[in-house]
Structure 1
């Protein structure tokens, strides 16, 4: 059974039509299956917070819809389950901060800079930048999500740098190093970040295969940043 079919079953079993009812079903019904719970929780977090971000920004552009579909690589037959959850989140009167905290409790470890929560934030950035720019309201939304997810300021700035690299092109910010950092240390840093971003690692953290566009997007930015630094250092 695909992750989206599982979502359909959970929505059907919820005692409440609200998103909170679906979250509670995930918490209780999958308590004995932590691996599936992580995968389902990740999917719900991405769908629900995407909906909340769209509502916070006030405008959903065609590019953002395409980016949403790019991350959610789903069959036409299962798209209804995603749409149901997306609409539940848009209609729910609870604020996004409430759901971000609930998602963190389902997906995370309670530790700062939890990688699976960074994966969710990466997916939200992927959608936000789809129209060519991350708008002020979207950045404020994403910054607040990072706070709730216990992603510290330095790590958040690296994420911002990754997603704005095409226009800003600061390779050092992407890798979280400075121009004074020795090249061998930069290489080690790059290799560690690349290992964290490998699709197998994301799958092990609970990111469903349907969402691996996130890994491709991240790896592209990391590879480009390291290549630019390497070229610059060799030229010097």
Structure 2
């Protein structure tokens, strides 16, 4: 059974008039919530809320969901229904973000740049949707920074993701690796190795990233390796 069929079943359980956010509450109430379903609905729902952050919904932003999730033929309607339910819900994006944060981080602990977590994967997916039209609008930056704060992700997390993905953003290699400026080369090496390990498809799947979306990490890995090469090159010089 595909993830899209399972999502369709979760949506079918909604009583007429119930908002999409109820799905997150029901997943949270399960003994072993299906994280891949939660991840996929979270990205699509928040992506729908973000789609107007730059003042318009572009074709590229909508089709970005297909690139991120590789929606197979015949399953588009399930993804479209999630998108439309979120768009139609009068609740603000912050209400969605809080339910998603609690689903994946029920202890509400603060997360930092060296603590890779599924919420960081959700944030990275949202960045890639924001960048799908080739522009990174200030409204999208504000939206994503706010979401990161609700998720409990610190400034180091947000700056690291932005540095990895946004062309033209400040891209200090220390920010990309999530380490303090002036960190030793040994600390940089440790951070690089940890991030490469956390980007492995098996590790991402275990965190709850569905196999259809694991390729999200490709751009992250390129930036991580480039940051390490820059820092190790400085040391060698």
What is the TM-score normalised by the length of structure 2?
Answer: 0.89
- Deviation (angstroms), 1:68: 2.2
Where 1:212 maps in the other structure, the secondary structure is helix
- Deviation (angstroms), 1:188: 1.1
Which runs of 5 or more structure 2 residues have no equivalent in the other structure?
A: none
2:110 paired residue number: 112
Residues of 2 paired with 1:42 and 1:7: CA distance?
11
1:226 paired residue number: 228
Residues of 2 paired with 1:185 and 1:24: CA distance?
39
Match for 1:152 among 151, 154, 158? Answer: 154
Contact 1:26/1:41 (8 A) holds in 2:
yes
Contact 1:14/1:25 (8 A) holds in 2:
no
- Matching of residue 33 in structure 1 with residue 35 in structure 2: no
Contact 2:49/2:93 (8 A) holds in 1:
yes
- More displaced 10-residue stretch of structure 1: 157-166 or 212-221: 157-166
Query: What RMSD over aligned residues (CA atoms) do the two structures have, in Å?
Result: 2.0
- More displaced 10-residue stretch of structure 1: 69-78 or 177-186: 177-186
2:47 paired residue number: 50
Which runs of 5 or more structure 1 residues have no equivalent in the other structure?
A: none
- Deviation (angstroms), 1:144: 0.5
Number of equivalences: 231
More helix by share: 1
Where 2:31 maps in the other structure, the secondary structure is coil
Residues of 1 paired with 2:43 and 2:8: CA distance?
15
Residues of 1 paired with 2:117 and 2:187: CA distance?
22
User: Which structure 2 residues correspond to residues 208-227 of structure 1 after superposition, within 5 A?
Assistant: 208-227=210-229
1:4 paired residue number: 4
Residues 118 and 179 (structure 1), Cα distance of their counterparts in 2 relative to 1, 3 Å cut: closer
- Matching of residue 14 in structure 1 with residue 11 in structure 2: no
Contact 1:67/1:130 (8 A) holds in 2:
yes
- Deviation (angstroms), 1:214: 1.8
User: Which structure 2 residues correspond to residues 174-193 of structure 1 after superposition, within 5 A?
Assistant: 174-177=176-179, 180-193=182-195
What is the TM-score normalised by the length of structure 1?
Answer: 0.89
